Structure 1
Amino acid sequence: MQTLHGTNISRRSAAHRPPAAPQLAIPRVGAAVRAAASATAPAPAPAPSGSTLTNNGATINWHQLKLKHVVDSGDFNRAAVDVVFKEALKMEKVKPHTKESRILDGFIMSTLFYEPSTRTRLSFESAMSRLGGTVLSTESAGEYSSAAKGETLEDTIRTVEGYADCIVIRHFQEGAAARAAAVASIPILNAGDGPGQHPTQALLDLYTIQREIGRLDGIKVGMVGDLANGRTVRSLCMLLSMYSEVQVYFVAPEVVRMREDIKHYLSARGVRWTEVSDLREVAADVDVLYQTRIQRERFQNMDDYAAARGKYIIDKDLMRILSPNAVVLHPLPRVDEITTDVDSDPRAAYFRQARNGLYVRMALLKLCLADGHPEILL
């Protein structure tokens, strides 16, 4: 294991790490799932009404946190994450034909996806529908919108905001969501911008870790695969940096190692990170093993892709090394980086992770749209 920071990081961490904040009480479901004892799992802590929470005696409102848009993971602080998580817990309980399922009645969400998507697009659309809203969708905006005629992204956003109350955008260019937010008068939610950011995925990943492991402070996370192009791991690193005593291991082929900007981001916040070549060594030590796909579509040189693919695979043999209390996550889709015989292992949490995306995105839509409207009972 090659530690790149050594003693420097330990000296820096005390100076740069923010003071520990009270951990949000989110019930842990992973232990119950693994033990098949859901009947004895702790009940969810009661969530306050509306989009507020009490933090050290102060009431915090979503919009007081200046998060009109959900574009960049770096825009969040722990208080904002706590707001989202408490709302997500309530979203898990929303049933059809109840008043909670109609809180976004009359609101319209537009999805503009310039890249393929299954989980992100459908979970956003399901989230809107489950809260009573309406969806305007285009599956391949680059081909079936006026972008094919040369229309700029900015002009598309200015046009679509006349038809909808929020826009969920996925784009192949890094920074596209920020460009959209710069000209939009309605909320923009970033559903992935090239190899840049995927903040809603990071939030659902963090929510899943809390639900499965039971804490966010003091966890060890191994990030595996295409870290250079992986917007999910980049965004997750930014959120993890808000928590104390977090340690991150980067396990990647040479051609797709984590980019320097994220390493610097973590170092500046006192987060210990290490680049490692031995996946088995990491698996024996972590609480979370976060696998990612080697993204063929991001490579211009297919020789580099061939060199990276298949280097790190999670299979039954590796699962024997993983701690009994650890979990395996993956943003999906997978190709061959997790073998299908791992799926039956209770520590394989990636499909539960995908399900959590529905609740987190329901929470975000509620907060972005219904908050600030006193006539709507939250």
Structure 2
Amino acid sequence: MLYIIDSIDYDPYLTDACVPPLSPLSLPVSNISISSTMDDSTTTTVTSNSLTSDPKTWLSSNLVSVTQISTSGLLLLFETAQSMRTLVRTVGGDSRLRHRVLASVFYEASTRTSCSFQAAMMRLGGTFLHVDGGAGGNTSASKKGESLEDTIRCLECYADVTVLRHPTTGSVQRVALGGGTVKPVINAGDGVGEHPTQALLDVFTIWDELGLSLDIEHGDSKNETKHAGQLVVVMLGDLKHGRTVHSLAKLLARSSIKHELVLRYCTPKTLEMPSHVKEYVDQFPNAKQEEYSDIREAVQGANVLYVTRVQKERFEDIKHYEDVKGAYVVDGTLMSCAPPGMIVMHPLPRVDEIHTEVDADPRACYFREMENGMFVRMALLSLVLLGSP
């Protein structure tokens, strides 16, 4: 059964009923350090590499940043995602999350992320309730002045895990790490900050499509020699506002153990990759960053072309948007001069940055990328709710 909630009202007399049961799902997350005060200016921190190959490290854990996931933890998640893909394609799913409820809370519009999380939950026998906050977080609770922290604490009374998207950068971290929540919170996008589950499905897709080794620590892939030297990823479009590329750049850098990673940024002058992302990538000796203005030059020798739309909703000046929106376009002409083995990815939705003529090219994998999102999120929910693959 599906439950759709468009407005939220709370009965103060039911407060005691919201005390969480004494179960593993209600244990406080202990692997995160936070500052002593929590307000809009507070910076919260996560512990890097806290999610490992031990499934128990995932149990009841928040996921707010890709930096939480160790290389061995990434391997565990991806192996589990492969198993989920086999499960879905053979029998459709199972009932391991029966009687579990996911709260899907979106204060910004979402189609793919919300639907794939909901489908992932249902494929594993669970159900969900959906809160559509709309533009600017327009729920009845927010209209009445309720804080985001209080809203999520109320919703977790009804659910076992919360998937949260919010337009304010850092808001999900603030709620998950200092908002008093006792059940896991998963970041589905916080403003122009991060989108960790998108990065996870993107890296899974890259390795799957290119035949890279999922055993990133031992490198026993039969195709290892094909890509052992260098992985070249071109990021094209709005790199300033695109939270997907922020998380992806970080995760690719963190997992560049057996491959030299080359990130090529191709973007209009005013939409460059933020300095804090580039500084983070610079910490990793196997990662290299390059700037390009000509997309035809950027794709030479590339393994991946990752395209993002220019995000109109992030612009304060509509004239600025109009000036840059068509700066780069992927079409048949570009594909004709691109490497034959280069895959084209996009987090979607697209506007006009990839022509539909490219869809028939076998190198276009953005719809396969979307399907992978469900498998990765199934794996994540199993690990977070059960502590097992």
Q: TM-score, normalised by structure 2?
A: 0.78
Q: Which runs of 5+ in 2 are unaligned?
A: 1-51, 214-227
Counterpart in the other structure of 1:172: 167
> CA deviation digits over 1:16-70, x for unaligned, max 9?
xxxxxxxxxxxxxxxxxxxxxxxxxxxxxxxxxxxxxxxxxxx931333688111
Percent identical across equivalent pairs? 42
CA contact (8 A) 2:82 2:375 kept: yes
Q: Does structure 2 retain, via aligned residues, the 8 Å contact 1:255–1:304?
A: no
1:202 aligns with 2:199: yes
- Where does residue 77 of structure 2 map in the other structure? 84
Q: Distance in 1 between matches of 2:238 and 2:112?
A: 19
Work out the number of aligned pairs and report it. Answer: 315
Distance in structure 2 (CA, Å) of the matches to 1:115 and 1:172: 6
CA change 1:61–1:145 in 2 (3 A) is: farther
State the AA in 1 paired with 2:72: A
* Mapping of residues 67-82 of structure 1, within 5 Å: 68-82=61-75
Please name the residue that 2:86 is paired with: 93
Deviation at residue 319 of structure 1 after TM alignment: 0.3
Indicate conservation of the 8 Å contact 2:167/2:191, yes or no: yes
Structure 2 contact 59–385 (Cα < 8 Å) conserved:
no
* Pairing 1:148–2:160 present: no
- SS in structure 2 of the partner of residue 219 of structure 1: strand
| In 2: Cα distance, 1:248 partner to 1:117 partner | 28
Paired with 2:98 and 2:147, the residues of 1 have a C-alpha distance of 31
Sort the Cα spacing of 1:268 and 1:160 in 2 relative to 1 into closer, same or farther, 3 A: same
Q: CA offset at residue 304 of structure 1?
A: 1.6
1:225 aligns with 2:220: no
Question: Whole-Å Cα distance in 2 between the matches of residues 97 and 82 of structure 1?
Answer: 23
How big is the shift at 1:287?
0.3
SS in 2 for 1:343: helix
Pick aligned residue for 2:104 from 111, 119, 131: 111
- Name 1:367's counterpart in structure 2: 383
1:326 aligns with 2:342: yes
Cα distance, 1:97 vs structure 2 = 11
- Following superposition of structure 1 onto structure 2, how do residues 227-306 of structure 1 map, counting pairs within 5 Å? 227-242=239-254, 243=256, 244-270=259-285, 271-306=287-322
TM normalised by structure 1 equals 0.80
- Which of residues 370, 373, 378 is equivalent to 1:354? 370
AA partner of residue 366 (structure 1): S
| SS of equivalent to 1:102 | coil
Work out whether residues 220 and 288 of structure 1, in 8 Å CA contact, stay in contact via their aligned partners in 2.
Answer: yes
RMSD: 1.9
Q: Hey, what does 1:51 align to over in structure 2?
A: none
* Mapped partners of 1:246, 1:282: distance in 2: 14
1:132, 1:311 → 2: CA distance? 45
Amino acid at match of 1:256: L
Q: Deviations over 1:112-134 (max 9, x none)?
A: 00000110000000000000001
**Higher mean C-alpha deviation, range 280-289 or range 142-151:** 142-151
The corresponding residue for 1:53 is none
Are the equivalent residues in 1 in contact too, given 2:59–2:384 (CA < 8 A)?
Answer: no
Runs of 4+ in 1 over 4 A off after TM superposition: 95-100
One-letter code of the match for 1:248?
Answer: L
Which one scores higher on RCO, CA 8 angstroms, separation ≥ 6?
Answer: 1
- Give 1:314 deviation, angstroms: 0.2
Deviation of 1:139 after TM superposition, in Å, equals: 2.3
